[in-house]
A and B are shown apart, each in its own frame.
Chain A
Amino acid sequence: GDSVTQMEGPVTLSEEAFLTINCTYTATGYPSLFWYVQYPGEGLQLLLKATKADDKGSNKGFEATYRKETTSFHLEKGSVQVSDSAVYFCALSKRGGSNYKLTFGKGTLLTVNP
């Protein structure tokens, strides 16, 4: 079945450091890919998405590019802030009838220190 593998955390960085969180997927067909973020004490929210190969999703300084050849969707940010501390989830979705259920990775905890 479909699956998502993301780098295990926790990841601890200093403010203004470069961030990469690796994500690879296994799926038949052409899934859409997502990064969700969960800030402390808050619900899960969509950070960015890409729906086809070579698409780049971006939001709040974060970027990820849908690489079909390497089945990857790595999350990057050039300069992290303390406010980026959160759990990040990579996910995929494929249409099954009208069901767009999400398949998630296990999540990566990011802590950014001042």
Chain B
Amino acid sequence: GAGVSQSPSNKVTEKGKDVELRCDPISGHTALYWYRQRLGQGLEFLIYFQGNSAPDKSGLPSDRFSAERTGESVSTLTIQRTQQEDSAVYLCASSALQGAQLYEQYFGPGTRLTVT
């Protein structure tokens, strides 16, 4: 079946503009994660969704970052008033979650954001 998809694949924006990044998880996956990978760094956790709620937003770096999920499916990560330090690859992952079972996280191809 289809994997995790993200759009756009590349986004160049001017400092101060707002951007929206989209993630379409694998159908039926209730858990959804956003991560960020800055140049030369590992992936950093941003936010976790279980269904449509976000019980863990601890990785969001500032109040300029927000995310929502609807229909237990599509998620949008919004960055307001972008700054150059927001330049990174933003990755989305989804997994099935049932009871205490840990299932593999499947990653999308990422959105490369460049703030000029």
- Name A residues whose Cβ lies closer than 8 Å to a Cβ of B: 4, 32, 36, 42-46, 49, 51, 89, 91, 93, 95-107
Determine if B55 and A43 form an interchain contact, defined as CB atoms under 8 angstroms apart.
no
Interface size class of B (residues with CB under 8 A): 20 to 34
- Name B residues whose Cβ lies closer than 8 Å to a Cβ of A: 3-4, 31, 33, 35, 40-45, 48, 50, 55-56, 59, 91, 93, 95, 97, 100, 102, 104-105, 107-110
Determine if A100 and B56 form an interchain contact, defined as CB atoms under 8 angstroms apart.
no
* CB < 8 Å A-B pair total: 63
Determine if A101 and B45 form an interchain contact, defined as CB atoms under 8 angstroms apart.
yes
Cα distance A90–B55 in the bound complex, in angstroms: 25
The A contact surface, by secondary structure, is strand
Cα distance A32–B97 in the bound complex, in angstroms: 15
| A97 with B55, Cβ < 8 A, contacts A42-B109, A46-B104, A51-B102 known | yes
